[in-house]
A and B are shown apart, each in its own frame.
Chain A
Amino acid sequence: MSGYLTGVLVVLAFNVIAAYAVYLPMAAGQLNLGIAGFMAIGAYGAAFLTNEYGWSMLAAVPVASAAAGLVGLVIGFPVLRTHGIYLALATFALGQVIAAVFLNLEVVGGAAGYTLSAYAGPYVVFAAAIGVVLVMLYLSRTRFALYLTAVKSDPTVADLMGISVRGVQVAAFALGAMVAGFGGAFYALHYNFVEAQHFNVLLSVFTVLYVLFGGAQTVWGPLAGAMFFTLAPEALRFGEQWRYAIFALFIILFMAIRPQGLITTSLFQGFRRRSNEASP
């Protein structure tokens, strides 16, 4: 594999992990615009534990991910009291606050960034992304995924059915934060360097776009969205400086035509019906 291709696939792997971190709360109707903050917790957590305590990657990554998940859990309860634009703003602010804390934390290098000695190669990163996809596919086959959609569709009815709407929402938010932390941990370990400036609002917004573009109705949407957003700009390289303009125009047109995203439940149903008709 060429260095260029490996580099692109590593970025794709990180984007896929991040997309699923946003997808989990979004499947329950919650927009998390602060996902970069949780990635930062994972990244700095893994960096600190491997550097300062000499932990192995195998120990540091789960602990760093769990730390991000725990922060998601603790913050989730008050933050998820808000809805709609207020929730978006609250999570946006949360992401900024977390990044600002690391920016000012001298023990992890402050604004100068933090260099790691441990290293995760590209194949480790690929395995991590494949692992996240498999876990998400597994979850999508469970009642938990069903309840995410139920809570998003009609929280009042879900509540009357006995589902803890708040419990499901907080669980989705915290799990998403954990996945973000997992991705952030490998990001730090792969690039051997973290700086708080990387975990900015653009990173959060782009990740949300992956999911919106791919579609939040099915578990395949985030994967499709992350692949498109990572690979399409590379394919448009021939356009040189125009490529981002072409790309942006395409996104606007696409979202106007198909606001529910690329992959939807009715799309799957259409395929299923066609295959049933083909083999009566």
Chain B
Amino acid sequence: MSSQATSTGGAAPEAAPVALAVTGISKSFAGVHAIRNLSFVARKGEATALIGPNGAGKTTVFNLVSGVYGVDAGAVTVNGVDVTHMPSRRRIGCGIARSFQNVRLMDHLSVLENLLVGQHIRAASLTDLLTPYRLFPNHRWRQEARQALADNGLERYANETVSGLPYGVRKRVDLVRATLAGASILLLDEPAAGLNPSETNDLRDHLNLLVAQGLTLVIVEHDMHFIDSICSNVVVLNFGEKIAEGPLSVVRQDPEVRRAYIGDGEN
């Protein structure tokens, strides 16, 4: 690995506390190294981008951090808690939620119901489980979900079944669902993919608002302009290894990053 690794992402004395720490993680599938000795941190109230060519292992990192797969080596720490061997369903309780590259909403449920599923970790008591919330239109969980839809301009879709909705709307619902878990760290897998320019602008404003509110974002994305407008730190992967890290303006000058991903034509 010939790392031209550059800045560590901002002046050290002012660095925000670490929200997510990935330390030396590795993962192989049938002998093929998907991730090799990867380390990076995401700081509280900042957005970190994971970039790299297709197949570099970006989504695999999300799967390892969220617990869909177990790591072969290394450690994952979320808000100071070592979650490396924690079952995937418990990790959301440590404050980490994620969205998916191929939107994975519950197709037979309505938009509102999908958001109610997203609230689960905050509504996990037996009373919440067995309260007939559907009999009370003003039930607090429903109201909260409706408010979240209204805040995102999605209220007219509240009762629509998800399977029939346009891709852009489903993508936004996926993001709103992730935020409703009340997590402090959001892993967003290609949130702008498939969105038109106006939707992308709205998304950028929304994510910047979340960062301003103190949320930590880790974003996998290919749109460099989008990343430039949100992320203060960028981690570049290639063949499962980190080849550079730092602000986008710095890593994009890195010869190895240019060779592996950005290309010489891009500035």
Q: Interface of A with B (CB < 8 Å)?
A: 138, 140-144, 146-147, 149-150, 153-154, 156-165, 217, 265-266, 269, 272
Contact = CB atoms under 8 A, between A and B. Distances in A.
Given A138-B132, A160-B97, A265-B108, 15 more contacts: A143-B128, A144-B130, A147-B120, A150-B106, A154-B104, A154-B106, A156-B68, A157-B104, A157-B106, A159-B89, A160-B89, A161-B118, A161-B120, A162-B124, A162-B181
A143 B116 contact: yes
Interface string B120-138: 1101100011111111000
A269 B107 contact: no
A149 B89 contact: no
A146 B159 CA distance: 14
B86 to A, nearest CB: 12
B132 A141 contact: yes
B202 interface: no
Contact of B90 (A144, A162, A165, A266): A162
A249 B102 CA distance: 40
Contact of B100 (A150, A157, A162): A157
Nearest to B177: A161
Contacts of B66: 160
Interface of B: 66-68, 88-93, 97-98, 100, 104, 106-110, 113, 116-118, 120-121, 123-124, 128-135, 159-161, 164, 181
15 contacts: A141-B135, A142-B131, A142-B133, A143-B131, A143-B133, A144-B129, A154-B104, A156-B104, A157-B104, A160-B67, A160-B92, A160-B97, A161-B92, A265-B108, A269-B160
B159 A163 contact: no
Contacts of A217: 108
Contacts of A143: 116, 120, 123, 128-131, 133
B92 A162 contact: yes
Among A150, A157, A161, the one with the most B-chain Cβ atoms within 10 Å of its Cβ is: A161
Contacts of A163: 89, 117, 120
B113 A146 contact: yes
Nearest to B68: A156
A2 to B, nearest CB: 38
B181 A153 contact: no
A266 B121 contact: no
Nearest to A266: B161
Contacts of B131: 142-143
B132 A149 contact: no
A144 B92 CA distance: 19
Contacts of A161: 89, 92, 117-118, 120-121, 181
